[in-house]
Amino acid sequence: MTNVLSPEQLSAQELCDLYRRRWQIESAFLLTKRLLELGYLWVGHRQGVQIQILATLIFYPVLNPLVGQVAMALSQPKEKISVAMVFPSLYYVAKAVTRGENPDVVSYLAKRAKLFGLVKAERKRHRERDALSQEIGGLCPSVDTNDRVGRKCNNVCLTWNDQSVRLERVLFLEIFKPDGLAF
């Protein structure tokens, strides 16, 4: 996690915040790669790869607010809208435009949300993972840097010792590691 061993240089709260930010960045790259098909390179030449990456990174900030607008139109939280399904649904919006229709993208997608599968189904494992993530997130702010006693929450234990803070978790990777990301 870090090579900073002194609690005076990096508090438990800062460590948790840094780790949370790291995984947000990792998750954003994984999501961008998977959803915008950046894992498949159209060309082998370096300049072509750079163009593909740049075009993908330019498109993602356009797609992300669209997902938020669709969520608002459907009165759903943004997390319930599948970015993976909104992206290919834009093909049908483009087809409607070529047929001479002039659809509002958000209303077009919202009207056909069920057909396109835009709203994610809630799965038991996601509810359990989210609940555990909430517990872990709630654990970090309560850690006192002067407290040398570990605080436990399920299988998570924050322990202060003289050298470092250790985060021990039996199933830690299952919670924070996005699918397909190798260590």
Percent of residues, the chain, with pLDDT higher than 90: 19
Q: pLDDT band for position 48 (50/70/90)?
A: confident
Is the pTM value of this prediction over 0.75? no
E strand residue ranges, the chain: 151-153, 156-160, 165-168
Q: What pLDDT, on a 0 to 100 scale, did the predictor assign at position 136? A: 66
pLDDT tens digit string along 101-121? 888 899 999 999 999 999 988
Q: What pLDDT, on a 0 to 100 scale, did the predictor assign at position 108? A: 93
* Residue 178 predicted with pLDDT over 80: no
24: left (phi over 0), alpha (psi -120 to 50) or beta: alpha
Q: How far apart are CA 152 and CA 141, in angstroms?
A: 14
Given a contact cutoff of 8 angstroms between Cβ atoms, the answer to whether 153 and 3 are in contact is: no
* Residue 80 predicted with pLDDT over 50: yes
* Residue 72 predicted with pLDDT over 90: yes
The mean per-residue pLDDT over the stretch 22-44 comes to 78
Where are the chain's structural domains? 37-121
pLDDT tens digit string along 145-177? 343 333 333 333 333 333 333 333 333 333 444
